[in-house]
């Protein structure tokens, strides 16, 4: 009887120790979790502040297309007035079934360029939806394809890694308008062939804006 009682007490004592140890382990685990959570939250906050700081440090230049002596395919494309616009030029020597137009901007001196904004009401129409456009930049005495882009409404923003240049070219789709029709006789079999002629019309561009990255100077207090 005595032996059984001592065994029972010993067993109860061990159980209490195990429960106490378990509670201590849970408490330490909870404390560690809270510590890690606070540490992670602090790291994210610091990272966010750094990113925010860097974003504030990065700005954009003034619109280079408005510089004095800048030129374009049509002066109305770079006059800073969205109520005026001009049309590009039909690309020569291209397939009559897939004519494209081109618009150029020539800056008075080379600039570091990394953003172009294209403004056009006509380009946002359904017939141009999904059409691929191209951005070319003149560098090292040759034209270089920088980016493919599609029209995103009236305002299309094109961003790319900064590159130094003084000439920018946008290659854009055109729309066709029926012009005239005539009939000719096929010399081989004397069949009458109907020929239709179309005008290829470049879309009107309201503005082409050109920007480069500018680092905002740090203010020391």
pLDDT for 91: 78
Are 34 and 135 part of one and the same domain?
no
For the chain, the domain total comes to 2
Are 31 and 86 part of one and the same domain?
no
The most confident of 115-129, 167-181, 194-208, by mean pLDDT: 115-129
Region of residue 130 (left: phi > 0; alpha: psi -120 to 50; beta: else): left
Confirm whether 121 is domain-assigned: yes
Are 197 and 158 part of one and the same domain?
yes
Domain boundary among 39, 58, 77: 58
pLDDT for 23: 47
Contact predicate 80/63, CB 8 Å: yes
How confident is residue 6, by pLDDT bands cut at 50, 70 and 90? very low
Domain boundary among 42, 58, 74: 58
Are 99 and 190 part of one and the same domain?
yes
Identify the domain containing residue 174 by its residue range: 64-212
Separation CA 159–CA 17 (nearest Å): 66
For 42-95, how does the pLDDT look when each residue is reduced to its tens digit (9 = 90+)?
A: 444 444 444 343 444 458 999 999 999 999 999 999 999 999 999 999 876 555
For 95-128, how does the pLDDT look when each residue is reduced to its tens digit (9 = 90+)?
A: 555 678 999 999 999 999 999 999 999 988 877 8
Are 115 and 33 part of one and the same domain?
no
Are 47 and 100 part of one and the same domain?
no
Are 30 and 115 part of one and the same domain?
no
Q: What is the pTM of this model?
A: 0.64
In whole numbers, what is the pLDDT of the chain averaged over residues? 75
State how far Cα 144 lies from the chain centre.
18
Are 159 and 74 part of one and the same domain?
yes
Separation CA 139–CA 200 (nearest Å): 30
Separation CA 132–CA 143 (nearest Å): 18
Kindly state the helix (H) or strand (E) to which residue 158 belongs, with its residue range: strand 155-173
Separation CA 156–CA 178 (nearest Å): 29
């Amino acid at each position: 009887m005595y032996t059984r009682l001592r065994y029972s007490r010993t067993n109860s004592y061990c159980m209490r120790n195990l429960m106490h140890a378990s509670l201590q382990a849970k408490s330490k685990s909870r404390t560690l979790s809270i510590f890690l959570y606070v540490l992670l939250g602090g790291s994210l906050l610091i990272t966010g502040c750094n990113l925010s700081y860097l974003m504030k440090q990065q700005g954009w230049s003034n619109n280079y297309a408005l510089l004095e002596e800048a030129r374009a395919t049509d002066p109305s494309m770079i006059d800073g007035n969205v109520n005026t616009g001009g049309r590009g030029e039909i690309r020569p020597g291209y397939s009559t079934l897939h004519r494209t137009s081109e618009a150029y901007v020539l800056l008075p001196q080379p600039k570091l360029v990394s953003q172009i904004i294209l403004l056009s009401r006509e380009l946002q129409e359904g017939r141009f939806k999904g059409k691929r456009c191209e951005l070319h930049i003149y560098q090292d005495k040759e034209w270089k394809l920088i980016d493919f882009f599609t029209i995103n409404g009236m305002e299309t923003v094109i961003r790319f890694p900064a590159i130094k240049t003084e000439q920018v070219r946008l290659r854009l789709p055109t729309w066709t308008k029926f012009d005239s029709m005539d009939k000719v006789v096929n010399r081989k079999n004397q069949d009458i062939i109907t020929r239709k002629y179309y005008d290829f019309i470049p879309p009107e561009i309201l503005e082409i804006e050109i920007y480069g990255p500018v680092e905002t100077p740090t203010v020391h207090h």
